[in-house]
Amino acid sequence: MQTITLHDKQFKPFISESELDDAVTKMANQVAHDLGDEVPVFIGILNGSFMLVSDFVKKYPKPCEVTFIKLASYEGVKSTEDIQRLIGLTQDLTGRTVVILEDIIDTGNTLEEVHRIFKSENVKQLLIATLFYKPEAYKKDFKLHYVGLEIPNKFIVGYGLDYDGLGRDLPAVYQLKTTQHMTNLVLFGPPGAGKGTQANFLKEKYDLVHISTGDVFRYNIKNQTALGTLAKSYMDKGHLVPDQVTIDMLEAEVERNAGAKGFIFDGFPRNETQAIALDKIMASKDSEVSAMVALEVEDEVLVQRLLERGKTSGRKDDSDESIIRNRIKVYYNETAILKDYYAAQNKYFGVDGIGGIEDITKRLNAVIDKL
Ligand code: IMP
Ligand code: MG
């Protein structure tokens, strides 16, 4: 299941069809068990409850009656005042066991209105069953006899519930994404591909936070943060820093930049474990990795570029051709698995890294603008 857009808002998968099915089945069986031989009248509150009521009564194992009522808005005495009244109750319910079937109980205002109109009906008992219940939003003290699923106080759609008319038809439930849309890039390129240069342009153009793993490590070690000290203890022994330490450091960096429009991850993830961890980190921000963007440059061009750079920079690892070739080889060995990981999600984008800096930037922009 993927993120969906209704009008101007995005919603992420929240409760699957099978989880809904389980919750409805459980409620139907509980009610049936409690009511014994009583033939109840189930009353759905339109519009939202139509899908629940349909599924519920199909699962209800004993005879029952079904009807619906609807909330209608009236303008009150003061024109600013919006009064909600329930309409459509035409049946005589004297002496009957009535079970209200609600899709969702939020503030409880609707429920208050239900209780108000049933005060004058001489029912035997009035039971309330709701598929969804938001305890944090509920402001009344009417008893809820049956609750399918307790959910956090966030707006949901699907399975009868709408956002401004849309979404009622969805068979699963989706939750509103509360953060703005982010562009999160995993940037790759072999040594000499011009990754640093392009990262700077992208950072400016899209207002992204550039997270370079090397910088994050140096910062944490220099400032002797708990994670930096821990990482250093491995490095001093000549050991690899465990994935979890790297992941925790990167996560802290993402947290430090809460509210960012997106990130450029540079040097992370390095393996599948880290890639999976990054997905989790982004999911916790109601977001996701948008793309892995890899600059593609032939080995021979890279070797020439780096040798050229070595002449002026004096960097030792840029002066020896066999060292250069080995660094390139290591890069491809490391990234192959990540390329597969992101390609499987249609998130891998190779960009031709040969040509003028501006041309390459334009190619990157073309990819990112379509995300
Ligand atoms: P109440 O606040 O309990 O009276 O709920 C009022 C109505 O608001 C419900 O019957 C729904 O129609 C609607 N509503 C409350 N929460 C949600 C939601 O998360 N998604 C869609 N509709 C909702
Ligand atoms: Mg409703």
Q: State which of 159, 176, 193 marks the end of a domain.
A: 176
pLDDT of 52 strictly over 60: yes
C-alpha 33 to ligand 1 mean position (Å): 28
**Whether residue 290 is found in the same domain as residue 212:** yes
pLDDT in tens, 97-116: 999 999 999 999 999 999 99
**Whether residue 351 is found in the same domain as residue 300:** yes
Q: State which of 135, 160, 176 marks the end of a domain.
A: 176
**Whether residue 127 is found in the same domain as residue 16:** yes
Number of domains in the chain: 2
CATH number at residue 211: 3.40.50.300
**Ranked by mean pLDDT, which of 169-173, 254-258, 304-308 comes out on top?**
169-173
**Whether residue 135 is found in the same domain as residue 230:** no
- For 151-165, 251-265, 308-322, 340-354, which range has the lowest pLDDT when averaged over its residues? 308-322
**Whether residue 335 is found in the same domain as residue 268:** yes
C-alpha 109 to ligand 1 mean position (Å): 9
pLDDT score for 1 = 55
- For 178-192, 328-342, 355-369, which range has the lowest pLDDT when averaged over its residues? 178-192
pTM of the prediction?
Answer: 0.61
Range of the domain at 348: 183-368
Closest atom of ligand 1 to 106 CA is 3
- Which string of DSSP letters, residue by residue, matches 139-165? ------SEEEEE--SS-EEBTTB-BTT
Q: State which of 110, 145, 176 marks the end of a domain.
A: 176
Q: How confident is the model at residue 8 (pLDDT cuts 50, 70, 90)?
A: confident
Task: Select from 161, 170, 177, 178 the residue to mutate for testing ligand 1; criterion: most ligand atoms less than 8 Å from CB.
Answer: 161
pLDDT of 80 strictly over 90: no
pLDDT in tens, 233-266: 999 999 999 999 999 999 999 999 988 999 999 9
CATH number at residue 131: 3.40.50.2020
Mean pLDDT value across residues 128-144: 97
Percent of the chain predicted with pLDDT > 70 = 99
DSSP bridge pairs for 4: 11
Task: Select from 11, 12, 104, 156 the residue to mutate for testing ligand 1; criterion: most ligand atoms less than 8 Å from CB.
Answer: 104
C-alpha 72 to ligand 2 mean position (Å): 11
End-to-end Cα separation, the chain, in angstroms = 18
Give the closest residue to 299 by CA, choosing from 353, 339, 350. 353
pLDDT score for 7 = 94
Instruction: Show Cβ contacts of residue 211 under 8 Å, excluding neighbours closer than 6 positions.
Output: 250, 253, 254, 263, 264, 265, 266, 268
**Whether residue 261 is found in the same domain as residue 112:** no
Neighbour order of strands in the sheet with 348-352:
209-212, 262-266, 183-188, 291-296, 348-352
108: left (phi over 0), alpha (psi -120 to 50) or beta: left
**Whether residue 192 is found in the same domain as residue 123:** no
**Whether residue 198 is found in the same domain as residue 158:** no
Question: Which residue puts its alpha carbon closest to atom 21 of ligand 1?
Answer: 161
pLDDT score for 175 = 96
Rounded to an integer, what distance in angstroms lies between the CA atom of residue 24 and that of residue 18? 10
| Bond before 346 cis per omega within 30 degrees | no
**Whether residue 166 is found in the same domain as residue 192:** no
**Whether residue 207 is found in the same domain as residue 310:** yes
Closest atom of ligand 1 to 134 CA is 16
Question: Which residue puts its alpha carbon closest to atom 11 of ligand 1?
Answer: 104
Mean pLDDT value across residues 63-68: 97
Enumerate residues lining ligand 1, CB below 6 A.
48, 104-110, 155-157, 161
pLDDT in tens, 279-292: 999 988 888 999 99
C-alpha 49 to ligand 2 mean position (Å): 6
Note the Cα 232 to chain centre separation in Å.
Answer: 34
**Whether residue 127 is found in the same domain as residue 215:** no
Question: Which residue puts its alpha carbon closest to atom 8 of ligand 1?
Answer: 106
**Tokens, residue 69:** 């009522």
**Whether residue 239 is found in the same domain as residue 278:** yes
